[in-house]
Structure 1
Amino acid sequence: MNNLERYQNISVLGAAGKMGSGILLLNVLHSVRLMHQPQHAGKTFVIHAIDQNYERLEGLMKYLKTQVLKWAEKNIVELRKQFIRRSHLIDNKDIIEAFVNDAISIVKPSVTIESAYQSYLIFEAIIEDETAKTDVLRKIKVNNPNHPFFLSNTSAIPISVLDDKAGLDKHIIGCHFYNPPAVQKVIEVVELNDGLPELSQLVHGFATQMNKLIVEANDIAGFIGNGFFMREIIYAVDLYESLRKELSPAEALLAVDKVSHELLVRPMGIFQLMGYVGIDVCSLIMRVMDTYLDEPLQCPFLDDILNKGFRGGQNADGTQKDGYFKYNRGKAVEVLDIETQQYVSIDAIEPVVNNFLAVSTKVYSWNQLNRSKYKEKHLNEYFESIRREESRGALLAKDYMLSMKEIGQKLYDDGVTNSVDNVNSVMMNGFYYLYGPVNNFIK
């Protein structure tokens, strides 16, 4: 069976979820463009969007139509070439409408797993739970006569575990997209040691067609992205506990977030990032990794926060839920005092934190440097100044960066990846860091 035949019948499991919806969108855009190629005229393409209930699927279809429309409007030049044989479509508006209709028509919403029993490609993006994943994958394997390929979006569970427990006969590969999948450039690919070459070729071909960057990781729990992120969480929590000797809970939390955000020139601080991902999600991933790794990887601090009712994450419209921070129009305006379980105005305590950090070096924001053609120059100048400075904030920033370098190096030493460049690539493309944590500016 060739790849084109596999693309003609796809199922996306967990299609209405945060990750699944983006993976579905990528598949829709890929399939509808294949459908419009002259050599594929008359061929049928179908994508089964499978999730728990029709309410979620109804919201998914609205999201999908909106996103396909946006894509079509941005890519009208390409679409005019695709529709050149439809001479009756003259106006851009008509071409865009036809493309959107074609795209939506190939998506078949479903609440039953049986819809995947005829598919040739299965994209799995359900809850990060070994039992849930293996049960679903096993059912499809047993009932699907087409020997489908399975592409799992797991971000923590070893692929060999899923393969073995679901009995997939090596027909599986790790294909970890980053959130949001339609926007994020990187895909972390995890192949079995003796996996199928044709499955690897399909994933690389799909990534090329969708302008994605593949970074290869070895089959060790957490892989590169979460292998780094979860260990950084532990470091940040330890730093918070240390600063609690000198600062209030809210001040200590804000100080750690400022160091990891502003002083390290990142898009957001570590506690904001945990809240964005979801504190519950971070706790779950850490527990999964702890199950499979020899080293202990635990953080009771996260469980304590969850027990107090703070989860973070995002609402259906993409706005941020309250976690370590409370938001107003996308901006963090209050920070959590973990001991009193009350939010404190950032404006009220920020002067105290800034005085504690006392950084004299001019700090560039991530937004300032992200698209600057002088980014490298400014980063070098900034971190050279931080390296020479002895303020509390500079010392904390230097220690933080050196610890991140050690985490990245450990991923390589432990065999999670075959190159430290892969660590840098995942963190720069998946987490939007301006520089790689292993090759950072603090020696």
Structure 2
Amino acid sequence: MERVAVVGGGTMGNGIAQIFAMNGFSVTLIETRQELAEKALSTIEKNLGRMVSKEKISEEEKEATLERIESSTDTASAVKDVDLVIEAVPELYDIKKKVFQTIDENAPEHAIFASNTSSISITKLAECTGRPEQFIGMHFFNPVPVMKLVEVINGLKTDPEITDQIISLSDQLGKVAVPANDSPGFVSNRVLMPMINEAIFCVYEGVAEPEDIDSIMKLGMAHPMGPLRLADFIGLDVCLDILEVLYEGFKDPKYRPCPLLVKMVDAGKLGNKTGEGFFTY
């Protein structure tokens, strides 16, 4: 495996592109508009620059990494000679479906398709293509260059050989691959999001202030970041999307999004990305 395409240059996509390029892969970063592609490349350059200043990599390694990354706004042509395509577009099924249909029509027969989705069914996404046995979930965690975990999700038809390849690939990237089967929210978000949601209910019901809820979880449960600060970091809109996937997938009221979360998203208070969520940035 030598050539990789990453569809989507946002927070997750540019991080995924960076780690592949750092580990010797040729990467094409695909965005919808040139200015978005340039923004993603600029972010990667800044991140690598910080690594140079911290003496984690050399200036030569930084330049070599950047040389391995090119950008494109034409998905069809960009995937024609790749070995692996990783999708990292917004967490909405209809958007992902269109992306995978385009990839399926243009990528080589041997290409593996992976989704970085944090909650949407891998089996359902795989059926958007004509090669569900070559489809798998690679759920990276933010910030991608730092976090070691890759949650590897098998769809109903995923070939076990593909799973083995992706686990081996994750090891090449310096990551730890942990397999899970397809289920709403997989393991990570099935456990995490109800905790975040319950913390939001504590604010909603006046049990405690956000700072105090986070302090209790950090000091009492040894969490490095409190659940409300983490929700802001993830993006409150993303948290809401995942909770809605869980709620729809299980039809269980324990996954019902807190009304305060819905209201904050409606008001555009999404956390770090907008400068205000449960905290101000």
TM-score by length of 1: 0.58
For residues 54 and 180 of structure 1, what CA distance do their matches in structure 2 show? 23
Determine the structure 2 residue equivalent to 1:146: 109
What percent of counterpart residues are identical? 28
Q: When the two structures are aligned, how many residues end up with a matched partner?
A: 276
Letter in 2 for 1:143: N
Q: 1:323 to 1:144 in 2, by over 3 A?
A: same
**How far off its partner does 1:182 sit?**
0.7
Q: 1:256 to 1:75 in 2, by over 3 A?
A: closer
**What SS does the aligned partner of 2:36 have?**
helix
Q: 1:64 to 1:221 in 2, by over 3 A?
A: same
8 Å contact from structure 1 (residues 187, 215) kept in 2: yes
**How far off its partner does 1:216 sit?**
1.7
Determine the structure 1 residue equivalent to 2:243: 286
**Which of 224, 228, 234 pairs up with 2:187?**
224
Letter in 1 for 2:14: S
Determine the structure 2 residue equivalent to 1:391: none
8 Å contact from structure 2 (residues 80, 107) kept in 1: yes
Q: Establish whether residue 133 from structure 1 lines up as the match of residue 90 from structure 2.
A: no
CA deviations over 1:9-67 (Å, ceiling 9, x no partner): 221100x20000110011101225xxxxxxxxxxxxx3211012222222222333344
Letter in 2 for 1:10: V
**How far off its partner does 1:75 sit?**
4.6
Letter in 2 for 1:306: V
Q: Establish whether residue 298 from structure 1 lines up as the match of residue 260 from structure 2.
A: no
For residues 210 and 166 of structure 1, what CA distance do their matches in structure 2 show? 27
Q: 1:196 to 1:301 in 2, by over 3 A?
A: same
Determine the structure 1 residue equivalent to 2:136: 173
**Which of 142, 150, 153 pairs up with 1:187?**
150
For residues 107 and 191 of structure 2, what CA distance do their matches in structure 1 show? 37
8 Å contact from structure 1 (residues 190, 219) kept in 2: yes
For residues 194 and 228 of structure 1, what CA distance do their matches in structure 2 show? 25
For residues 312 and 63 of structure 1, what CA distance do their matches in structure 2 show? 19
CA deviations over 1:186-226 (Å, ceiling 9, x no partner): 11111134422332122111221222112222210101111
Determine the structure 2 residue equivalent to 1:308: 267
Q: 1:112 to 1:236 in 2, by over 3 A?
A: same
Q: 1:70 to 1:198 in 2, by over 3 A?
A: farther
Determine the structure 2 residue equivalent to 1:74: 56
Matches within 5 A, 1:385-396: none
CA deviations over 1:96-118 (Å, ceiling 9, x no partner): 43x44433223221111121233
**What SS does the aligned partner of 1:52 have?**
coil
For residues 183 and 139 of structure 2, what CA distance do their matches in structure 1 show? 13
Determine the structure 1 residue equivalent to 2:66: 104
Matches within 5 A, 1:363-442: none
Determine the structure 2 residue equivalent to 1:57: 37
**How far off its partner does 1:241 sit?**
4.3
Q: 1:58 to 1:242 in 2, by over 3 A?
A: closer
Which blocks of at least 5 consecutive residues in structure 1 are unaligned?
1-5, 33-45, 77-95, 245-250, 316-320, 328-443
TM-score by length of 2: 0.89
Letter in 2 for 1:324: F
Determine the structure 2 residue equivalent to 1:10: 4
8 Å contact from structure 2 (residues 119, 242) kept in 1: yes
8 Å contact from structure 1 (residues 138, 168) kept in 2: no
Which blocks of at least 5 consecutive residues in structure 2 are unaligned?
none
8 Å contact from structure 1 (residues 163, 172) kept in 2: yes
Determine the structure 2 residue equivalent to 1:235: 198
Q: Establish whether residue 160 from structure 1 lines up as the match of residue 118 from structure 2.
A: no
Q: Please tell me whether Structure 1 or Structure 2 has the larger radius of gyration of its CA atoms.
A: 1
Q: 1:192 to 1:272 in 2, by over 3 A?
A: same
Cα RMSD, aligned residues only:
2.2
Determine the structure 2 residue equivalent to 1:199: 162
Q: Establish whether residue 25 from structure 1 lines up as the match of residue 2 from structure 2.
A: no
For residues 129 and 137 of structure 1, what CA distance do their matches in structure 2 show? 13
